[in-house]
Structure 1
């Protein structure tokens, strides 16, 4: 009964989000074709990740085909929800309000949670997560259980964005991400620029003001959402994680308080590969979703 209620409840929320997304998307012709491409990739690729992950973490006697199909459709739904969340990042720019980062990231996290559950071979809403500052918040609807762990990658984000720069508490609380200002450029292994979005932190030059501030802030939030989407790496090593917990009491205890994620290495490798070509997919996607325009290729 509880399982059926949760499915109906979240299906209603999903339909509502689709409606809101369509309302938000006042698309012009110059980026419609790209938006369709990004949506298809989000749905298809995350469906594939969900299917492959469910085979790796197979838990019953179903045929491999049924197991893959079950993971695929859940992963595809998760991909569709992340598409909506990314679309909502444009509200920051259009409404000139960084507080819209909260709902955009929340919806994106819902999609990422579904993708990870699919790849883990679990029920669609087995575990819902949200990365808040330096913590990974997790809620288990079926067990009505809540947990909070240190999100290790967020420490890397702070080191990259916050080192030697000014922390803005007001903007951090308003947006739900750690915000830093600098008088110089932000340097990291993926390049340098006047602004950057890293894991749970956003950094921008202090001379970025007015409409440009919201335009760039929205794009950096989209990059953070892209990062959160790389959750399947942990699912692919889920069995190894369980083995370590069984063999190491120390690792098992630490895992209760610390979330060791593989999002970082996966995103870094994917971005580096994309950056080697004429058009960086992640930059194209982030600008399309957040700013409703096409990002010129290099």
Structure 2
């Protein structure tokens, strides 16, 4: 029995409508944010618009021989926009970690983000929107291909490297690692006092000050660091850009094909690095785009440059 195929609604009309929506989102995102709501609309527009564009460009790179460049781009654009909307919703869920004071909310945030990121990656690879889904589980990437009905587990070296690096901040907390689906490290209170760093994130690892150190909002910091994980994992769109290099290598070298079956080499760090440079010359920590976005979603607050990230001193202006 064949699995049902996802069909596009209205063909060309659907693509044109999505194009208009993306342009509208971009226009909204370009308005200077004066309130929490307008800032949220700007970030939502960014997540939908940028993933639509990345999906479209990737699909054009990986277009099928019978496809025109424009057709591939528009289809990728539509799928990428859908994925971007889910990524936005996933980031919004991180606030529940702070609001409910429960680390387990990291799971629905990460699963929703994985679905959205999978759709964007499928778009960039010029596959069907739901052809392949993935979820990162600590050092393992789990993929399921619905088209080929194939399940694949692969180790991710960058995640392992991140986990090893994070040992410098503190000890691994197994209970909180299970609650969040991430390698979770406790930063000792004395180290917090010495460095004033209450949280840190690298790939699928986060480090947060121990809850007994009461001068910062613990769950808000956890939500902020989980947001950084979502930002990192949302950068999977770059891998399909190299499919035309990767596939011939698999066909030519048996060892590389075997290697690729057990090891997943991601380019997430390269893809997210340019975003790290935006706003870094700002006098405040939250002037950086990635920090601003993380704190906005994690705490549902309007972020101004003069604010300083402490996990507690920022005022919630969302009314929630």
TM-score higher than 0.5: yes
**SS of 1:181's equivalent?**
strand
Displacement over 6 Å in runs of 4+: 5-8
Task: Work out the CA distance in 2 between the residues paired with 1:242 and 1:273.
Answer: 34
Quote how far apart the aligned CAs of 1:5 are: 7.4
**SS of 1:267's equivalent?**
helix
Which of 203, 207, 222 in structure 1 is aligned with 2:207? 203
**Contact preservation (8 Å) 2:209, 2:218:** no
Quote how far apart the aligned CAs of 1:143 are: 2.8
- With over 3 angstroms needed to count, the CA separation of the structure-2 counterparts of 1:276 and 1:255, relative to structure 1, is farther
**SS of 2:224's equivalent?**
helix
Quote how far apart the aligned CAs of 1:210 are: 8.9
Q: How big is each residue's C-alpha offset from its partner over 1:158-214, in whole Å with a ceiling of 9 and x where there is no partner?
A: 1221236211111111111111112225xxxxx993211211111012254597111
- With over 3 angstroms needed to count, the CA separation of the structure-2 counterparts of 1:252 and 1:194, relative to structure 1, is same
Q: What is residue 38 of structure 2 aligned with on the other side? A: 33
Task: Work out the CA distance in 2 between the residues paired with 1:6 and 1:63.
Answer: 18
Q: After the TM superposition, which of the residue ranges 98-107 and 60-69 deviates more from structure 2? A: 60-69
Q: What is residue 232 of structure 1 aligned with on the other side? A: 237
Which of 155, 161, 165 in structure 2 is aligned with 1:150? 155
Quote how far apart the aligned CAs of 1:297 are: 1.6
1:153-172 equivalences under 5 Å are 153-163=158-168, 165-172=170-177
1:1-298 equivalences under 5 Å are 2-4=3-5, 30-163=35-168, 165-183=170-188, 184=191, 193-206=197-210, 207-209=212-214, 212-277=217-282, 279-297=287-305
**Contact preservation (8 Å) 2:198, 2:221:** no
- With over 3 angstroms needed to count, the CA separation of the structure-2 counterparts of 1:58 and 1:177, relative to structure 1, is same
**Contact preservation (8 Å) 1:152, 1:260:** yes
**SS of 2:217's equivalent?**
helix
Question: Which is helix-richer, 1 or 2?
Answer: 1
- With over 3 angstroms needed to count, the CA separation of the structure-2 counterparts of 1:143 and 1:168, relative to structure 1, is same
Bigger radius of gyration among the two: 2
**Contact preservation (8 Å) 1:195, 1:204:** yes
Backbone CA RMSD of aligned residues: 2.4
Q: What TM-score does the superposition give when structure 1 sets the normalisation length?
A: 0.85
Quote how far apart the aligned CAs of 1:7 are: 9.1
Q: What TM-score does the superposition give when structure 2 sets the normalisation length?
A: 0.80
**SS of 1:124's equivalent?**
coil
Structure 2: gaps (5+ residues): 10-33, 307-320
Q: How many residues align?
A: 274
**SS of 1:256's equivalent?**
helix
- With over 3 angstroms needed to count, the CA separation of the structure-2 counterparts of 1:69 and 1:203, relative to structure 1, is same
Structure 1: gaps (5+ residues): 9-28, 186-190
Q: How big is each residue's C-alpha offset from its partner over 1:122-149, in whole Å with a ceiling of 9 and x where there is no partner?
A: 0001110111100001111233321110
- With over 3 angstroms needed to count, the CA separation of the structure-2 counterparts of 1:215 and 1:70, relative to structure 1, is same
Q: How big is each residue's C-alpha offset from its partner over 1:227-261, in whole Å with a ceiling of 9 and x where there is no partner?
A: 01111111111111112212322221111100000
- With over 3 angstroms needed to count, the CA separation of the structure-2 counterparts of 1:208 and 1:200, relative to structure 1, is farther
Q: After the TM superposition, which of the residue ranges 223-232 and 245-254 deviates more from structure 2? A: 245-254
**Contact preservation (8 Å) 1:283, 1:295:** no
**SS of 1:113's equivalent?**
helix
